[in-house]
Amino acid sequence: MLEELVTKLADTPWSIALHESLYMYAITESTHVMSIMLFVGTIAMVDFRLLGISYTKVPVSQMLSKILPWTIAGFVLLVITGSMLFLAIPIRTYHSIWFRLKCLMILIAAINIAVFTFKVERDKAAWDLGPVPGKSKICAVISLSAWACVIVFGRLIAYNWFDCDSITSPTMAELTGCPLDPG
Amino acid sequence: MTLYHTAQNIEASALGQTIRESTWLFPAIESTHLLALALLGGSILIMSLSILGWGLKTPVAELYKSAHRYFNAAVVALLVTGVLLGISEPVKLYGRQAFWVKMLSLALALAVTYFAFNPLVRRGVSGASARGVTLLTIAAWLTVAMAGRWIGFS
């Protein structure tokens, strides 16, 4: 079903226009990179505070209320430009093992954010300026690791080591949804 | 010896060849370069947003104590990985306009950050001139990032 969807996407005039336009694709990818500075950059600073290693004079509540809106703005920019990058090359990206791992990492990071929002930060008034609890540090480490992986895997999508035409193992065929080359 | 010859010599060096011929080295260095870029963005933005009145209410000189460590670490990581990337393909870079735009904006960004932005932040200066320097600093680093990505397209 997803396979049909990306095949249809690839045939849309928007996909072809993005794919063929040198400037629009380059501008979109550059904006994607600049948005990483805003998104991962600000989330990293919040995580360093949640680890208790930096900005310890800034209340945790302030860090969350004043910095996270900028993180969200960065995320919106990344989703818009990321969707455009996907739309430009839908079929190859859909099968990319790096794209799939990137989505998995985003999912892990999202679950971590949900746990932090609904469980961990509930009693933050008690540690707004004092020592941070272990649960906060765990969330920060998961967040930093997951977003770092998202950046690395995202960058690796550009490389064709595991494109469908070079896949020979059944496991990789399964993971990438690529047909196994009968030859 | 011209600059172009120097580029050819660097390209022929053992280190340049090793990075160029390895499957994983260039992507690994490139990914580290991107991670450091994110760190640089976060550290400069947390101070900048505060100066512009859109961020933390904590005095910016206090933020600087933590932020400048991340910023300096990011600059070192970016320079080391950037030089390694450059060593692997200097002849290509020599001919790319985007590379020279990046080097010029990098020099500007480093100068503005270390000679104008940081001194202002350390002294906790606010007001129109501090906001002006802040916007210039952000613009300079965004140009570096944009031109850097553009090297791959031009």
Say what the pLDDT of residue A22 is: 82
Interval A126-130 mean pLDDT:
96
Interval A57-79 mean pLDDT:
98
Contacts of B54 in chain A (CB under 8 A): 70
**In tens digits, what is the pLDDT along chain B, a chain of 154 residues?**
799 999 999 999 999 999 999 999 999 999 999 999 999 999 999 999 999 999 999 999 999 999 999 999 999 999 999 999 999 999 999 999 999 999 999 999 999 999 999 999 999 988 999 999 999 999 999 999 999 999 988 7
Using CA atoms, how far apart are residues B102 and B146, in angstroms rounded to an integer? 8
Please report which confidence band the pLDDT of residue A180 belongs to, taking 50, 70 and 90 as the band edges.
confident
B67 touches chain A (CB under 8 A): yes
Nearest residue of B to residue A42 by CA position?
A: B42
Among A33, A37, A57, beta carbon nearest to B62:
A57
Query: What is the predicted ipTM?
Result: 0.95
Whole-number average pLDDT of chain A: 96
Reference B113, options B140, B94, B82; nearest CA is B140
Say what the pLDDT of residue A183 is: 53
B111 touches chain A (CB under 8 A): no
* Alpha helices per DSSP H over chain B: 3-12, 14-21, 25-51, 60-88, 90-94, 97-112, 118-122, 128-151
Say what the pLDDT of residue B1 is: 76
Using CA atoms, how far apart are residues B56 and B46, in angstroms rounded to an integer? 8
Say what the pLDDT of residue A182 is: 59
